[in-house]
Amino acid sequence: MQYPVNEIFETIQGEGHFTGVPAVFLRLQGCPVGCAWCDTRHTWEVDSKDEVTQDAVIGAGDGEPRWAGWDLDTLVAHLTGPQYRARHLVITGGEPCLYDLRPLTERMHAAGWRCQIETSGCFEVLTHPDTWVTVSPKIGMKGGLEVQRSALERADEIKHPVAMQKHIDELDALLEGVDLSGKTVALQPISQQHRANELCVRVCIERNWRLSIQTHKYLNID
């Protein structure tokens, strides 16, 4: 099993259910979804010309499309090494569910870690049963991919980016018939827009949903 890794770094989880929790982020390369507001466009392509050594992807990245192939044993040994204090692993991207994450998450859970996946929901979620799955459903994106019903059903958390009422309406249509009991539903204003903030606060109060603020952007941390 090989994973194309864009970066590995330790920080604080800045959004969603685990906001404020120390975490190691594992960012995988590759994503065909094509979100217009994506802030990690450098992770979209897995191009052989951008392949680098493993050492080059350790530490917070600089927005370059570099990636390194990591085999399962080497990746687990690095993540569970003494250089990291956190015991919460966030697997993100790119689109991490392009890859079978069961071998990695099984090993990490066995090592005493909690795992979280951040995904668009456009691919089947292959992970350990105890992994926390955060689906940020990407609807009508340039890549033309549909959000999978199986991903919504597997989700522990549905965190939806919102700029206008249309995005609330799209989420309502997407979630029709999905059992939300036991799931966290959070609205996340896009780009700290005042209009989006007001809309999300109002709807969260009306529905008893959660507001997700990208605190790492306010704090200017990775």
pLDDT tens digit sequence for 61-70: 788 999 999 9
pLDDT score of 18: 96
Q: Is the peptide bond before 94 cis (omega within 30 degrees of 0)?
A: yes
Segments of the chain with pLDDT less than 70? 60, 192, 216-222
pLDDT number for residue 216: 64
Model confidence pLDDT, tens digit, residues 90-119: 999 999 999 999 999 999 999 999 999 999
CA-to-CA separations, 11 to 15, 24, 122, 183, 188, in angstroms, rounded: 12, 6, 27, 25, 20
Q: What is the 3-state secondary structure (H, E, C) of 126-152?
A: CCCCCCEEEECCCCCCCCCCCCCHHHH
Quickly count: other Cβ atoms within 10 Å of residue 153's Cβ: 12
- Compute how many other C-beta atoms are within 10 angstroms of the C-beta atom of residue 184: 17
What's the pTM? Answer: 0.93
pLDDT at residue 214 in the model: 72
Q: State the pLDDT at residue 62.
A: 83
Query: What pLDDT score does 193 carry?
Result: 78
